[in-house]
Chains A and B, each alone.
Chain A
Amino acid sequence: MNIDSPPSLPRKERVILELLVSAGPLYGLQLVKFSDGALKRGTVYATLARMEAKGYVESEQEELPAGAIGLPRRIYRPTPLGKRVRRAWVALAREFALEVPR
């Protein structure tokens, strides 16, 4: 991987990665509900789009049942890079004795 600076991992992105790694693929709304107030409906989708642009998560639209109308939901999962960045952050946090989320 060719990068100019180490990947950054702000708090909200860290929470999202933790949830996706521990609970598996999730929808935006599920991330909000599982985060115990750490994530809000009004920001989580922008954060997820940013993480997707950074390559930390990937998403796909669920397929609507035949005959169904409306919008398909989008489900998110961590990428190998996202998992790697999370592991690096956990190692760094342990090194500096920071609080490491379970």
Chain B
Amino acid sequence: MSPSPHKRSLPGTLFLNFARLIFPAQIIASIFSPAVADLREELREAGASRIKRFAIRWRWYWALSSLMLVAPLSVRTSPVSGSSDAVVAVPNGGWLLVLLAATLYMGTWSFFGSFVISSASAGIALAFAMRTWHDKHPTVVVEPWRLAALPAVQINLSAIRVAGDGPGLIFAAGTVLIVVVGLPGLWWFFVAAALGSLLVAWSLFTRRSTEHSGLFNSIR
């Protein structure tokens, strides 16, 4: 029994839905939607010929796959402009970072398999924890307007800015935990690093508190 035509999705729908998971709306609107619309038009022009339709579909699926690789390297959304189809012609570092991580995971799989699984799982869990915390207690990062106009550089899957607050602590502690799971022999290094950084943080805090109270007294 052939499926009902109403239940079958239009060509390219699955691909477009997949692209929507990866790319922002601007790139979908300016690159992927026009491509899928043209794919459907070419299929419509092909008529009922099954061979023609098959050839067109394969040509397009190959092209759309290439487009998925090309698009993030050639365009990215503009964080400054509010325009819905604003794209600028510079490489997208975030996508390259994901590619790099995937390559590293695959390359180290044979001798680092358990660590790869644990670090990937813990990384995703950590990202969720940070996102949950951030949604309840949004981070306020004070930065010069020039930096604020640039795209936020983020190295965590939760895609939130990290400051010296709750998410920052989760990020630092979680990262250390993941590395210690993979390299248990180095636990002493992280304990020493944590103690050292606490010492530095305490001295900085004390010094700045003294400077601020001195300034406050001089103003009074």
- List B contacts of A59 (CB < 8 A): 30, 34
- List A contacts of B75 (CB < 8 A): 46, 49-50, 53
Contact with A along B19-57 (1 / 0, CB 8 A): 000000001001111111110111000000000000000
Given the known interface contacts A45-B31, A53-B89, the answer about A29 and B67 at a Cβ–Cβ threshold of 8 Å is no
A71 and B87 form a contact (CB under 8 A):
no
Separation of A53 and B7 alpha carbons in the complex (Å): 38
A46 and B85 form a contact (CB under 8 A):
no
> Does B170 sit within 8 A of A, measured CB to CB?
no
Q: Which of A26-60 contact B (CB under 8 A)?
A: 27-29, 40-43, 45-50, 52-54, 59
Number of residue pairs spanning A and B whose beta carbons lie under 8 angstroms apart? 85
Count of A residues near B, CB < 8 Å?
23
B66 and A29 form a contact (CB under 8 A):
no
Q: Which of B80-123 contact A (CB under 8 A)?
A: 85-89
> Does B62 sit within 8 A of A, measured CB to CB?
yes
A45 and B34 form a contact (CB under 8 A):
yes
- List A contacts of B10 (CB < 8 A): 69-70
Q: How large is the interface on B (under 10, 10 to 19, 20 to 34, 35 or more residues)?
A: 20 to 34
Separation of A29 and B37 alpha carbons in the complex (Å): 10
> Does A72 sit within 8 A of B, measured CB to CB?
yes
Separation of A70 and B89 alpha carbons in the complex (Å): 29
- List B contacts of A47 (CB < 8 A): 74
Q: Which of A79-99 contact B (CB under 8 A)?
A: none
Closest chain A residue, CB of each to CB of B64: A42
- List A contacts of B88 (CB < 8 A): 53
Separation of A46 and B89 alpha carbons in the complex (Å): 10
- List B contacts of A48 (CB < 8 A): 30-31, 34
Given the known interface contacts A42-B64, A42-B67, A54-B89, the answer about A49 and B41 at a Cβ–Cβ threshold of 8 Å is no
Q: List 22 A-B contacts (CB under 8 A).
A: A27-B38, A27-B41, A28-B38, A29-B42, A41-B38, A41-B59, A41-B67, A42-B66, A45-B71, A46-B70, A48-B30, A48-B34, A50-B74, A50-B75, A52-B87, A53-B75, A59-B30, A70-B37, A71-B33, A72-B37, A74-B33, A74-B34
- Which of B's residues lie within 8 Å of A, judged by CB? 10, 27, 30-38, 40-42, 59-60, 62-67, 70-71, 74-75, 78, 85-89
